[in-house]
C-alpha cells in the first residue's frame, strides 16, 4: 500500500458514508406511517416505497462491483454523493407517492454505490483483519438507524416536521463528500494480488460461494425486513415501536464494536450459527409477547442479527478471496434484492391479513380513512394488532432454516480445516 494513503481517514470517511445509508433506513422507518397518513397511502404502497430503496441498492452494488476495479473506488463514491444529495433533496420536497418512490430509489442507488466501493476498500485497507474491520465498518449501519430512529421519535414528539428530519442527513453527506474528494485511494485487493478478471469470475462458480450467496437472502431478510417494518407491525401492540427498533439496533452497534474477540474465538461460521438461533428466538418473542417483554425480544433479536451482514461478507472475503469486489458486492446485492421482493410480498400479505380481521364485506380503504376514535378506526387497530405478529411468525421460518444451513456450514468448515492440516502434515 502506498505510503501516501491515509488509511484511518479513508476508513472514517467510509463510516460517514455508511452513516448516511443507515440514517435513511432509520428515519424512513419512523416516517412510513406519517407518509401514509399525509399522502393517503395503503400498506402495499408504503411497502413499495420502502422496498424501492432495496431495488436501487442491488442494482448499484452489482454494477459497482463489476466496474470498481476499472474506474476506481473514488469515482464510485463521488457518484454515491451525487445520488445521496439528489435523493435527500427530492424527499424533502416530495408531494406524493411517485416523488417518494423516485427519491427513495435514488437513495437506494446511493446506498448500494457506497457498499460497492467501501466493502472492497475496507478489505484493501485491512487485508489481515477483514471480518473484524468489516464488522467495525458496518456498526455504523445500526448506529445510524439508532440515530435516525431517535431523530424520528424526538422530532416527532416535539412537533418538528418530517422534512427537517430528512434534512439532517445532509450533514454527514456533505462531510463524506468533502473527505473523499481530497483523499488518495489504494487499488482493490484483487488487483493488488494479481488475480485476473477471468479468474475472479470463475471463482463465483465455487459451490461454497453459491451456498453463501443463497444464505445471504435469508440473513438480509431476517435483519432488514424486520427492522424496517417494526414500527408498522408493532405500532398497535406497543406505544413506542420505534424505540424497539432503537433497542435492537443499539445492541448491534455494541456487538459489532466488540466483534474482534467474538469472531476470533468462534470463527465466522460459528458466529453465523449462533446468530441464526438468537434471531429466531428474538422474532418469536417480538411476535408473542407484550409490554416490556417486547423490548426483551428486541434485545435478543438485535444480538441475533448483529453479526449477520458483515460476517457473511467477511467469510467470503477470507475464504473465497479470488471472488474479489464482485463477490462481495454480489453478496450485498443478493441480500437487498431478496429484501425488496419479500417486503413487497409482505405488504400485500399484511393488507390481506388486516382485511380478513375486519367485518365481512369491509373495504380496507374506508377503514384507513376513518377518523381516529371512531368504531371503524378501533376495529382497524385491532385487525392490525393481530396482523403484525402473524407477519413476524411467517418471517420466523427464515432464521430457523438458516440455523440448519449454518450448522452444516460449521461441520463442513471443520472438515475442510482438518483436511488442509493433514495435507500440510503430509507434505
pLDDT tens string 65-106: 888 888 889 999 999 999 999 999 999 998 888 999 999 999
For residue 61, give the C-alpha cell.
Answer: 452494488
pLDDT tens string 111-147: 989 989 999 999 889 988 888 899 999 989 888 877 8
Q: What's the confidence (pLDDT) of residue 425? A: 60
Q: What's the confidence (pLDDT) of residue 241? A: 64
Q: What's the confidence (pLDDT) of residue 303? A: 92
Q: What's the confidence (pLDDT) of residue 151? A: 82
Distance CA 364, CA 96 (A): 20
With vertex at residue 307, the alpha carbon angle to CA 176 and CA 63, rounded to the nearest 5 degrees, is 50
Q: What's the confidence (pLDDT) of residue 287? A: 83
Contacts of 406 (CB under 8 A, 6+ apart): 215, 269, 272, 273, 275, 276
CB atoms within 10 A of CB 266: 17
Q: What's the confidence (pLDDT) of residue 66? A: 86
Q: What's the confidence (pLDDT) of residue 278? A: 96
Q: What's the confidence (pLDDT) of residue 1? A: 43
3-state secondary structure the chain: CCCCCCHHHHHHHHHHHHHHHHHHHHHHHHHHHHHHHHHCCCHHHHHHHHHHHHHHHHHHHHHHHHHHHHHCHHHHHHHHHHHHHHHHHHHHCCCCHHHHHHHHHHHHHHHHHHHHHHHHHHHHHCCCCHHHHHHHHHCHHHHHHHHHHHHHHHHHHCCCCHHHHHHCCHHHHHHHHHHHHHCCCCCCHHHHHCCCHHHHHHHCCCHHHHHHHHHHHHHHHHHHHHHHHHHHHHCCCCCCHHHHHHHHHHHHHHHHHCHHHHHHHHCHHHHHHHHHHHHHHHHHHHHHCCCCHHHHHHHHHHHHHCCHHHHHHHHHHHHCHHHHHHHHHHHHHHHHHHHHHHHHHHHHHHHHHHHHHCCCCCCHHHHHCCCCCCHHHHHHHHHHHHHHHHHHHHHHHHHHHHHHHHHHHHHHHHHHHHHHHHHHHHC
- pLDDT tens for the 427 residues of the chain, in order: 444 878 889 999 999 999 999 888 778 767 877 888 888 887 778 878 877 877 788 888 888 888 888 888 999 999 999 999 999 999 999 888 899 999 999 998 999 899 899 999 998 899 888 888 999 999 898 888 778 877 877 887 888 888 998 999 999 999 999 999 999 998 887 777 778 888 999 999 999 999 999 999 999 999 988 876 776 666 655 666 667 767 777 888 889 988 888 888 888 999 999 999 999 999 999 888 877 788 888 889 989 999 999 999 999 998 998 998 899 989 988 988 898 889 888 888 888 888 888 877 776 767 777 777 777 777 877 777 777 788 889 999 999 999 999 999 999 999 887 877 776 665 5
Query: In the chain, what are the domains?
Result: 7-426 (1.20.1250.20)
Mean pLDDT of the chain: 85
Amino acid at each position: 500500500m502506498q505510503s501516501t494513503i491515509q488509511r484511518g481517514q479513508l476508513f472514517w470517511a467510509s463510516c460517514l458514508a455508511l452513516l448516511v445509508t443507515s440514517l435513511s433506513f432509520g428515519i424512513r422507518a419512523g416516517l412510513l406511517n406519517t407518509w401514509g397518513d399525509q399522502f393517503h397511502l395503503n400498506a402495499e404502497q408504503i411497502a413499495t416505497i420502502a422496498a424501492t430503496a432495496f431495488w436501487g441498492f442491488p442494482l448499484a452494488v452489482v454494477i459497482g462491483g463489476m466496474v470498481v476495479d476499472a474506474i476506481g473506488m473514488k469515482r464510485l463514491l463521488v457518484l454515491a454523493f451525487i445520488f445521496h444529495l439528489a435523493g435527500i433533496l427530492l424527499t424533502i420536497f416530495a408531494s406524493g407517492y411517485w416523488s417518494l418512490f423516485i427519491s427513495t430509489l435514488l437513495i437506494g442507488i446511493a446506498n448500494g454505490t457506497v457498499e460497492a466501493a467501501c466493502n472492497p476498500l475496507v478489505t484493501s485497507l485491512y487485508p489481515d483483519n477483514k471480518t473484524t474491520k468489516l464488522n467495525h465498518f458496518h456498526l455504523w449501519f445500526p448506529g445510524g438507524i439508532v440515530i435516525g430512529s431517535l431523530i424520528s421519535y424526538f422530532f416527532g414528539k416535539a412537533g418538528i416536521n418530517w422534512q427537517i428530519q430528512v434534512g439532517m442527513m445532509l450533514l454527514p453527506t456533505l462531510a463524506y463528500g468533502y473527505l473523499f474528494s481530497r483523499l488518495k485511494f489504494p487499488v482493490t485487493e484483487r488487483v493488488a494480488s494479481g488475480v485476473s478478471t477471468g479468474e475472479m469470475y470463475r471463482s463465483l462458480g465455487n459451490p461454497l460461494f453459491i451456498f453463501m450467496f443463497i444464505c445471504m437472502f435469508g440473513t438480509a431478510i431476517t435483519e432488514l425486513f424486520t427492522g424496517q417494518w417494526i414500527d408498522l407491525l408493532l405500532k398497535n401492540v406497543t406505544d413506542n415501536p420505534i424505540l424497539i427498533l432503537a433497542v435492537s439496533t443499539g445492541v448491534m452497534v455494541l456487538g459489532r464494536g466488540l466483534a474482534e474477540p467474538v469472531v476470533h474465538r468462534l470463527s465466522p461460521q460459528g458466529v453465523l450459527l449462533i446468530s441464526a438461533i438468537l434471531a429466531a428466538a428474538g422474532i418469536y418473542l417480538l411476535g408473542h409477547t407484550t409490554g416490556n417483554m417486547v423490548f426483551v425480544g428486541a434485545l435478543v433479536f438485535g444480538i441475533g442479527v448483529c453479526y449477520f451482514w458483515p460476517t457473511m461478507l467477511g467469510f467470503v472475503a477470507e475464504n473465497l478471496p479470488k471472488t474479489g469486489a464482485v463477490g462481495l458486492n454480489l453478496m450485498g446485492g443478493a441480500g437487498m434484492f431478496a429484501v425488496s421482493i419479500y417486503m413487497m410480498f409482505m405488504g400485500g400479505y399484511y393488507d390481506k391479513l388486516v382485511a380478513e380481521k375486519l367485518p365481512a364485506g369491509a373495504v380496507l380503504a374506508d377503514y384507513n380513512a376513518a377518523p381516529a376514535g371512531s368504531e371503524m378506526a378501533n376495529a382497524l387497530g385491532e385487525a392490525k394488532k393481530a396482523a403484525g405478529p402473524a407477519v413476524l411468525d411467517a418471517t420466523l421460518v427464515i432464521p430457523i432454516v438458516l440455523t440448519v444451513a449454518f450448522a452444516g456450514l460449521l461441520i463442513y468448515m471443520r472438515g475442510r480445516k482438518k483436511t488442509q492440516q493433514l495435507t500440510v502434515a503430509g507434505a
